[in-house]
Amino acid sequence: MKNRTEKAAPRRSTNILTDIKYYLLCKPPVKTLVEHNGAGTRTELGKSILQRTGVDVENYKMLNVHRVGIETPASYVFDELMRWSGESICWPNRIAKVQLQDESLENIKIYLFGINKRLFGLSLFHLFDLSSIRIQRVPAPSDHDNARYLLYECKGGYPIGVFSMYVRSSIPERDEKEMSQLFMMVSFNFYGRSNMRFNFINRIWEGIHNRVTSNIVYRIKELCEWKFESFTNE
């Protein structure tokens, strides 16, 4: 029997090897990284983030933003983001396990390989915590772009900074063709509050992070478009 939709859902990862395959070895067919080469471009991007979320990222050395257009309404994408958990099909849960605290997206712990154990008093597999700064479930009264987002403080591990998943309606004046735009942003100091610079390590981390994030946002796109098309074809 022919499928009622031409789109397909992303394949679910079942183990560490498929996490590596889907999130590190595979490369999405579209470019998602928002480039900000040069201090001026970085400053403008920081101003946009401050205007839309109220968070100043200028004091953080790392700023990585990825964007993808999605052919579904922004509210539909946000509903999918609100299902984020340790079983999400769009997150490398076998490598970086998401554990919701009190079954809520307000507070999240991330564990390497899902191992939540202490050794000699140390939690060696605890990567970091996400504590909600704001979950904007409905657009603000002054917002004309239908924006919704999850915004977190990163702490308790290697990144000290902020993380956000942000979705808004597309802006035709910016040549955005899909119904909505999804942004995933992380900004932090890799070495905590230290000013140490290890550019080689930074480049390795950014390369890995950008490949994983690119796959995450593209898989969200695939999942939302597949679900939405299946729903509208019923």
- What is the 3 state secondary structure string of the chain? CCCCCCCCCCCCCCCHHHHHHHHHHCCCCCCCECCCCCHHHHHHHHHHHHHHHCCCCCCCCEEEEEEEEECCCHHHHHHHHCCCCCCCCCCCCCCEEEEEECCEEEEEEEEECCCCCCECCECCCEEEEEEEEEEECCCCCCCCCCCEEEEEEEECCCCEEEEEEEEEECCHHHCCCCCEEEEEEEEEECCCCCCCCCHHHHHHHHHHHHHHHHHHHHHHHHHHHHHHHHHHCC
User: Contact, 23 vs 92, CB < 8 A?
Assistant: yes
Show the domain range for 161.
16-79+133-211
What torsion, rounded to 10 degrees, do the Cα atoms 159, 128, 23, 119 define?
A: 120
- Give the per-residue pLDDT at 5: 52
Kindly state whether residue 97 falls inside one of the protein's structural domains. Answer: no
Write the pLDDT tens digit of every residue in 93-113.
999 999 999 889 999 999 998
Kindly state whether residue 115 falls inside one of the protein's structural domains. Answer: no
Q: Is the pLDDT of residue 178 over 90?
A: yes
State what percent of residues in the chain have pLDDT above 70: 88
CA 127 – CA 125 distance, rounded (Å) = 6
Kindly state whether residue 144 falls inside one of the protein's structural domains. Answer: yes
Q: Is the pLDDT of residue 162 over 80?
A: yes
Kindly state whether residue 64 falls inside one of the protein's structural domains. Answer: yes
Query: What band does 1 get if pLDDT is binned at 50, 70 and 90?
Result: very low
Name which of 147, 136, 148 is nearest 171 in CA terms: 147
214 versus 191: the higher-pLDDT residue is: 214
As beta bridge partners, residue 66 has 33, 184
- Give the per-residue pLDDT at 3: 47
Write the pLDDT tens digit of every residue in 39-85.
678 889 999 999 999 999 988 888 899 999 999 999 999 999 999 99
As beta bridge partners, residue 170 has none
Mean pLDDT (whole number) for 151-167:
88
- Give the per-residue pLDDT at 232: 80
Kindly state whether residue 75 falls inside one of the protein's structural domains. Answer: yes
Kindly state whether residue 96 falls inside one of the protein's structural domains. Answer: no
Mean pLDDT (whole number) for 118-127:
74
Kindly state whether residue 55 falls inside one of the protein's structural domains. Answer: yes
The number of domains in the chain is 1
Kindly state whether residue 146 falls inside one of the protein's structural domains. Answer: yes
Query: What band does 2 get if pLDDT is binned at 50, 70 and 90?
Result: very low
